[in-house]
Amino acid sequence: MMKELNLMQNPYQDDKVIDACSIFGVMDTSGKRFSGEGVIRAIANMHDRGNGLGGGFAVYGLYPEYADLYAFHIMYLNRQGQEKVEAFLREKFHLVHTEEVPTRLTPNIVNPPAVRRYFLEVGDARPEEQSADDYVVGKVMEINTGLEDAFVFSSGKDMAVFKGVGYPEEIADYFCLEQYQGYLWTAHGRFPTNTRGWWGGAHPFSLLDWTVVHNGEISSYGINRRCLEQYGYQCTMQTDTEVVAYAVDLLIRKHGLPVEILAKVLAPPLWSEIERRPPGEQKLLRTLRQVYGSLLLNGPFTVIIAHHGEMIGLTDRIRLRPLTVGVKDARLYLSSEESAIRLICPDLDDAWIPAGGEPIIGSLKNPLQPGAAAGREKVLTAVRKI
């Protein structure tokens, strides 16, 4: 049986690990928008890391005409689900515009759900004491847990997630992604392991403008989920990565922690390493483990986390999943494989593999400058602050 399984996963008996998912991200830190054609080619170059049961993209800066409105992307399994959700949206929001997300016939995309997008303003239904973002999070959770046959899978401003069952290049073709432009793109090719492949379970996972693509396995999913449920988050997409998106929203948006501290919560140093740190740093790291121990991500992982103005790469503390960083002028690249970066940018200023648990941060507030030394220095400056 094991021999048959090995032949299925590795039919040519080579030494390439193909059951590990693929992730890719590129950000122009000057804010310049660009087509997704290169991103699609890059993620397709890692085709063998997936199996066609999940692919997806996140794009930032693609809806400038509706930049101040929340853009909901919702998938529907039937007409009844759509009618219920649209009645709910009209009751709870001011619906400015809605349309079907454009698609084209793609041979290997079969039985897709209907996908529509809604551009919304938070209206008078929001309680005065509640922030607009908290209100939107609450309504997303309400739809995804209380209304059948519908899932909100994207809910941020001037950004969107496009995902489904298929290889990522097929999903890009299906959603006509070559027609969009943004200043930040992330992409994912999935190889489901512990959870089934379905449209809602494809990556990226998103809440507000936070998106996460992930390679690996979150074996701490149970305790992570129970912790997040105490803060009102409900996990409905039936896969482990969802907890990462909600943890990021909780720690950065609600608790106000910087990215560098987020990294020390999700991928903290080993206790033996903490004991060798200076006293002040020991105190900080011990406090984080005591307060946020239930949000530590156990198991092998590499994630690319994005939101408006920032893209973050992070691996587990002993780097059991790969991540390569590339810099070219104002652009920052993150990828499972360097080959995917070199395919679309062969003349990089610099490329390297970060240490485990070390966040790689690209920011509109701290744009990269031409030159290898300047590029690496800019990316790593924020990391060393902690």
Tens-place pLDDT, residues 257-278: 999 999 999 999 999 999 999 9
**Residue range 77-105: mean pLDDT, rounded:** 96
- Could you tell me the pLDDT band of residue 194, with boundaries at 50, 70 and 90? confident
Q: Which residue, chain included where needed, has tokens 């790469």?
A: 313
What is the number of alpha carbons within 13 Å of residue 29 lying toward its C-beta?
23
State the average pLDDT for the chain: 91
- Please report the pLDDT score of residue 184 as a whole number: 98
Contact 336, 90 (CB under 8 A): no
**Residue range 286-299: mean pLDDT, rounded:** 95
29-44, pLDDT tens digit by residue? Answer: 999 999 999 999 999 9
Is 313 among the domain residues?
Answer: yes
94-114, pLDDT tens digit by residue? Answer: 999 999 999 999 999 999 999
- Could you tell me the pLDDT band of residue 20, with boundaries at 50, 70 and 90? confident
- Could you tell me the pLDDT band of residue 197, with boundaries at 50, 70 and 90? confident
312-332, pLDDT tens digit by residue? Answer: 999 999 999 999 999 999 999
Contact 97, 218 (CB under 8 A): no
Is 9 among the domain residues?
Answer: no
Is 302 among the domain residues?
Answer: yes
The rounded distance, in Å, linking the Cα atoms of 249 and 255 is 9
- Please report the pLDDT score of residue 237 as a whole number: 84
Is 6 among the domain residues?
Answer: no
Number of independent structural domains in the chain:
1
Higher per-residue confidence, 375 vs 302: 302
Cα dihedral 89, 91, 97, 101, rounded to 10, equals 20
The catalytic residue among 21, 227, 235, 345 is 21
**Residue range 215-221: mean pLDDT, rounded:** 93
**Residue range 303-310: mean pLDDT, rounded:** 97
The rounded distance, in Å, linking the Cα atoms of 347 and 140 is 43
CB atoms within 10 A of CB 191: 19
Alpha helices in the chain (DSSP H): 2-9, 37-44, 79-92, 132-146, 168-174, 221-229, 242-248, 259-266, 271-274, 279-292, 338-344, 372-384
In degrees and rounded to multiples of 5, residue 161 shows phi and psi of -110, 140
Higher per-residue confidence, 383 vs 194: 194
- Could you tell me the pLDDT band of residue 2, with boundaries at 50, 70 and 90? very low
Q: Does the pLDDT of residue 208 top 50, yes or no?
A: yes
Is 10 among the domain residues?
Answer: no
Is 4 among the domain residues?
Answer: no
Q: pLDDT over 90 for what percent of the chain?
A: 84
- Please report the pLDDT score of residue 5 as a whole number: 44
Report the CATH number at residue 164.
3.60.20.10
In degrees and rounded to multiples of 5, residue 280 shows phi and psi of -65, -40
Q: Does the pLDDT of residue 12 top 60, yes or no?
A: no
Note the pTM of the prediction, 2 decimals.
0.92
Contact 132, 94 (CB under 8 A): no
Is 54 among the domain residues?
Answer: yes
Residue 293 is part of which domain span?
Answer: 17-384
Helix 132-146 with 79-92: angle, nearest 10 deg = 150
Q: Is 21 a catalytic residue?
A: yes
Q: pLDDT over 70 for what percent of the chain?
A: 92
- CA dist 232 to 89, 250, 327, Å? 20, 10, 38
Is 31 among the domain residues?
Answer: yes
363-385, pLDDT tens digit by residue? Answer: 999 898 877 566 677 676 555 44
Residues 6+ apart with CB under 8 A from 102: 175, 176, 179
